Structure 1
């Protein structure tokens, strides 16, 4: 059974002004993708880190507008953003801290920060579906495009959840 992470020892912090702190911990392909697109992404993104003591141990991005990140399905992205959905991307927890429900902690903190917004995300790895479904996302659609296949998940705001 996964060890529950003591929430009192972790906090979510807005590091949008210093995103490189988060980028440094990411796999090379993610880091390069973000660094090469950051000028475009920055006006539409908030970066929230998971901090334990003085150490940044994870985090993720919350997009508020269409960017090249969602270019595989522009009409879908525009529909969601036009309807006040926020897009979650690049959710990451350092390997030595995995299995402690920190991804859940990050998501719930973001949901609390934006209680009136619905959320959407896309995954390439079907193995992540269980994690997102556990966090009240539902499969909206499968998208096949020239680069492969993604699954789009959505989560309604707390006021709309039963």
Structure 2
């Protein structure tokens, strides 16, 4: 799933961003929080309303002067509707929050890993002032088990056909 999010920047996050830029540094997004809360977020928010858990960023890159592309993988056994997302800085400050007041962004099944890709638009921040700290995960390897299962099923189907045909 890939969605362009225009989140609400928080006062706490903007202050942390200001502090970092005053020191000549970039603020670093390190985690994404997922939760079940559905509301219209405001700038005074310091946490998600109903956070289920936080995830490290699997991979991320700058997609423009005010846009970041982030990927997170939820491989837990939690089951919930993702209706709120928080973007956390290295110091734990909530930089920005997005909530789907109606509907949901995704459903996390306890038996299936959820891969979320976000194009995060941060137009209310100085250009190139935020960087992404990721785990460096190679997301291409996530598809290997599924491809192996498909190949096995295909080979078994062909084998059954040949056994039936030759009998």
Alignment TM-score, normalising by the size of structure 1: 0.29
Return the index of the structure with the highest Cα Rg. Answer: 2
**Structure whose residues are more often helix by fraction:** 1
- Report which structure shows greater RCO (CA 8 Å, sep ≥6): 2
- Tell me the TM-score normalised to structure 2 length: 0.28
